[in-house]
Amino acid sequence: MSSMIYFMSLTLLITTLLMLIASSISKKTLSDREKSSPFECGFDPKGSARLPFSLRFFLIAVIFLIFDVEITLLLPLPIILTFTNFFSWSLTSIIFLIILLLGLYHEWNQGALNWSF
Indicate the domain borders of the chain. 54-117
Dihedral angle, C-alpha 21, 26, 30, 36, nearest 10 ° = -160
Name the pLDDT band for 26 (thresholds 50, 70, 90): confident
Instruction: Give CA–CA dist 40/49, Å, rounded.
Output: 16
Tell me the per-residue pLDDT of 36-77, one tens digit each, with 9 for 90 and over. Answer: 665 666 555 565 666 677 777 888 888 888 888 888 888 888
Check pLDDT > 70 for residue 95.
yes
The alpha helices in 1-117, defined as continuous H runs, are 2-25, 33-36, 55-74, 77-80, 86-110
This prediction has a pTM of 0.47
Check pLDDT > 80 for residue 5.
yes
